[in-house]
Every structure is written in C-alpha cells, then in structure tokens.
Amino acid sequence: MDPMLKTSVWRQFGAAIDMLDDAISLCPDELWTAVLWKDPDDAAYGQFWFVAYHTLFWLDLYLTGTKENFAPPPPFIRGKLPETPYTKDQVRTYLDQCRQKCQATLEALTDEKASQHCTFEWVEASYLEMQLYSMRHVQEHTGQLNLLLGQHDVPGVDWVPQARDKAH
C-alpha cells in the first residue's frame, strides 16, 4: 500500500483520537456524568463518560474489522452498562490502547487488507473505508463532547491538525 497514503490517513486519524483524548482529559469530574442528550433506553447512554467509552469501543471494533469474537479489554463489557460509570483513567487507558492499535494497524496496512470486505448490519465497506468511517465517528462524538465542555466554559479545547508524535 502506498506509504504516503498510510501516513496521511494515520496523521488525520491520530489527530481525531488526540482530540478525543483532550476532551476526556479536560473533562472536570463534575461533568464526567453530565448528560449530552436524553437517551430513551437509559440515561447513562447520553452521559459524557459513556459517549467517550462508546467512541472507543467502536474504534476498537472497526479496527478489528468484525464483530465475531470481539470483546473490549477488561474492565469493559460488551452489550450492557457497567454498574457504575467507567473512570476517566480506565477510559484514557483504553484510548491509549486504541491509539496504539490504530497506528500499528495503519502502518502495517497492505493492499490486500485494505480491500478486505467488512460487513456490519448497518454498513458494508472495504477495510480501508471502514477506517475512514470510524475516523468520522470518532470526530463526531469528540465534537459533541467538546460542545458540552464549551458550554461549561472548560478551557483548553483546541484543534489538533495532525497526530501528535508519541512513542509506540
């Protein structure tokens, strides 16, 4: 696969993840369970902590490329809410794992893997397109989290133009 394309995709995907990291890091404790929207199934689904976790869960799943045998790392559980909200440290640890997985996956991407067919109930696409889809998903929820932070005058929210240089 073209090295310039892989580098470009990583730099933008990594920037989206870094912006999510910033939103999580900047979130004051009193906003960790703040409601972004009312969810009819469970109020927790609309809370800051859950939106952050949800974003990472799907990032991890889309990097995996299939729902078969997928499970997030402990303490995270698939398919139901935990008894208490995940902590900021737990979510940031998961973010670090997903960021590393994303960078390593994109750096190792081959034409064969990029063209692999991915099927989910709501979308069918090549593996490469699923990663672009995932990047948009990360940025969508990051924007929502940042909006809540801005509405509460939390300083420090800023645009990240390219992935930050972090050791693997």
Q: What region does 165 belong to: left with phi over 0, alpha with psi -120 to 50, or beta?
A: beta
User: Are 155 and 148 contacting, i.e. CB atoms less than 8 angstroms apart?
Assistant: no
Expressed as residue numbers, the domain containing 134 is 3-151
The pLDDT, as a whole number, for residue 168 is: 46
Residue type at 37 in one-letter notation: W
Model pLDDT for residues 117-160, shown as the tens digit of each residue: 999 999 999 999 999 999 999 999 999 999 999 999 999 999 99
Q: Say what angle helices 3-26 and 48-64 make with each other, to 10 degrees.
A: 160
CA 2, 56, 33 angle in degrees (round to 5)? 150
Is residue 61 one of the residues assigned to a domain?
A: yes
Is residue 167 one of the residues assigned to a domain?
A: no
How many folded domains does the chain comprise? 1
Is residue 157 one of the residues assigned to a domain?
A: no
Is residue 147 one of the residues assigned to a domain?
A: yes
The whole-model pTM stands at 0.96
